[in-house]
Amino acid sequence: MMPSDPPYRVRSSIRAEEEGEATRITKLSSLETETRARRRQVGAYLVVLQGSNVGEMHKIDGPELVIGRAMSANVRLNDDGISRRHCRLLQVGGDVIIEDLGSANGTLVNGELVQHHPLKEGDKILLGATTMLKFTYQDKLDETFQQQMYDAAARDGLTRAYNKKFFLDRFETEFAFARRHKSLLSLIMFDVDHFKKVNDTYGHLAGDAVLVHLARITQSMIRTEDIFARYGGEEFAIICRGTPLANAALVGERLRVAVEQAVFDYQQQRLPVTISVGVAALAEANAGTTQALINEADEALYEAKRTGRNRVVMRRGPAA
């Protein structure tokens, strides 16, 4: 009588199961290792969903990150209703805790007023009247993608200065805040002297090279809180928060001198480059709208051109 299941078949079956189990354990171990490695690469971030800084991403580095309007804040937000030191984020072990710092209007997480609250992925944080932040964990690839999206929407493709739309949106916010709180706000407008001649003589690629170099010089000379934008063509603007007219004019003069002394060249050809600068301030202009203040700065710029170029003109009062 033949046995129905020879012993060798049983042993083969057991061996196969053991090998399969070993393979599964190896795969699980590998997956856990990859997961741990990914966690080490992931960082905690705040993304601005609403407010004047919409689209910005801030990595939560170190044990404390302070949010508010103060110059010393790690994340500066100048929207209405935000206190100078509004709240802070603390990293405790593997958790991120948000803590209100006695703000005038409170800190809300997912619609609930909080004093000391652990944050979870996707939590929405409301500060003041208009600013909403999202708390999220992202890896380097996510961060790079988010930054690229933000830059595409907010920055000029050639010079990497902010674009005109971003400038106008941000200027509305800064202007409204300055008027409401009776704080200082100045606007610098400048453009390249005889820029058409540069393009006609050396070509448009040379003109582009001038604008790129000019933007780099400007970026290196302004404060973090200043907003530098390409207003159009060869014209640029700088929003100077908390700055009186005379100080903004000094910024414009330092920039004018730096451009005059800089070396602009294209294909081993030295290019003559200077700028004319117009400066206006909310207090002196007594402007009722952002466009009125832009017009004041533009009028000062055109006066600088009419009176010889390569100079700075301050607008001390409304245009006649």
Residues involved in catalysis: 234
Phi, psi of 124 (to 5 degrees): -105, 130
Of 229, 226, 231, the C-alpha closest to 184 is 226
Secondary structure class of 128 (helix, strand, coil): coil
The tokens describing 175, both together, are 């202007």
Which helix H or strand E contains 186, and what residues bound it?
strand 185-192
Rounded Cα–Cα distance for residues 316 and 320 (Å): 12
Please report which residue ranges of 67-203 form alpha helices under DSSP H.
140-154, 164-181, 195-202
Are 160 and 110 in contact by the 8 Å Cβ rule? The answer is: no
Rounded Cα–Cα distance for residues 193 and 57 (Å): 37
Please report which residue ranges of 122-194 form alpha helices under DSSP H.
140-154, 164-181
Residues in the chain: 320
Of 90, 82, 77, 69, the C-alpha closest to 135 is 90
Pairing state of beta strands 185-192 and 131-138? unpaired
Which helix H or strand E contains 310, and what residues bound it?
none
